[in-house]
Amino acid sequence: MTFKTLDSAELAGKRALVRVDFNVPMADGAVTDDTRLRAALPTIALLRAGGAKVILLSHFDRPKGKRVPSMSLAPLVAPLAALIGAPVAFADDCVGELADRAIAAMKAGDVLLVENLRFHAGEEANDPVFAAALARNGDLYVNDAFSAAHRAHASTEAIAHRLPAFAGEAMRRELDALDAALGRPRSPVLGIVGGSKVSTKLDLLRNLVVKLDQLAIGGGMANTFLAAQGHPVGASFFEQDLAPAARDIMALAAQRDCELLLPLDVVVAKEMAPGQTAVIRGLDAVTTDDRILDAGPATVARLVAAMDRAKTLIWNGPLGVFEIPPFDGATTAAARHAAALAMTGELIAVAGGGDTVSALRHAGVVDDFTFVSTAGGAFLEWMEGIPLPGVLALNAA
């Protein structure tokens, strides 16, 4: 698909409605992680430099169409202003008289944050009347919230059909990275999918095995595949009822010439807790009271060799229980190797998903990959091949 960017927009004096994702973690009324605020800064700066009036639209939490004071966006005004280095005004509603007055008072280059979109039931209902009320306050629409693009809401989908619609800078970077990973990747393409449950990633696995050259499966979900092959998994977590689905995925991979890289060896312990003695086992040496908690060194060595041959890597999910050392070994070693290749330009390395971002941060390489998406659900749905309404609405073709 094609989409318009702000490079082609006439900005001077225009009211730019910018959909951002400011659903940030808060504690005692203060922002504890400003990553999503920072992500919006390039788009805000570009619009201000072009002389636009910047009107920021966002949701926060799940008020379910009612005004919930604890879910107001007002506490974000001060930290956002500090990041921008300029005043940020606030409107106590996103539509109606309060929003109208605040927008009418704006001058070129001003920034206004309006109240939580989800205080109105029409937002999540993708209500055309609510979308029209939002659109009346803008001359152009900018979607800079890929993390909300998997939801067909009024501020992500319906509004894009009522105004000239553009991708913001964060959205553009995300879409370009995803296109490089699966849309038009450099081959060979290697995937890593980890995490605990096959059941949550069946559609993802089925989509990837028809697109990738190699797919490594790790984490607890690898146990289900090992059990499906007849290997003992001891006291490890696995989904016995999904063994047939695992065998179907293995058959589909073979049919589509995607090599599945399942563990060659594993790291086990008696309990999933800090301070446990970790033991490396061959696949057929796992005992009844062993818990598989990480991939073994032979598995990591093969995965590292696959990275060396690959040109593109897409990664979702850790290879083990990385939160509890020493069961972070495989994830950390693989992440650091991928990061080293990405930094030299030998590998396009794209990763995403909440646990993945945490694992890469734990390994100290979250800034060294080609691109790391913090979008969560939108990233996973994109990997599954599901069209994202907020992205489709930007299609300029």
Q: Which residues are catalytic?
A: 36, 197, 354, 377
What does the chain come to in residues? 397
8 A C-beta contact, residue 217 and residue 194: yes
Euclidean distance between CA atoms 372 and 359, whole angstroms: 11
Residue 237: how many other CB atoms lie within 10 Å: 16
Distances (CA, A) of 138 to 45, 84, 113, 159: 18, 21, 14, 10
Name the residue with tokens 């062993």: 290
Candidates 157, 114, 122, 162; CA nearest to 139 is: 162
Q: What sign for the dihedral angle of Cα 249, 255, 257, 263?
A: positive
- DSSP-assigned beta bridge partners for residue 165: 141
Is the link from the previous residue into 326 a cis peptide, with omega within 30 of 0? yes
Candidates 55, 36, 63, 61; CA nearest to 95 is: 55
Name the residue with tokens 């309060």: 98
- DSSP-assigned beta bridge partners for residue 55: 17, 112
Half-sphere exposure of 162 toward its Cβ, with a 13 Å CA cutoff? 21
In this structure, are strands 312-316 and 291-295 parallel, antiparallel, or unpaired?
A: unpaired
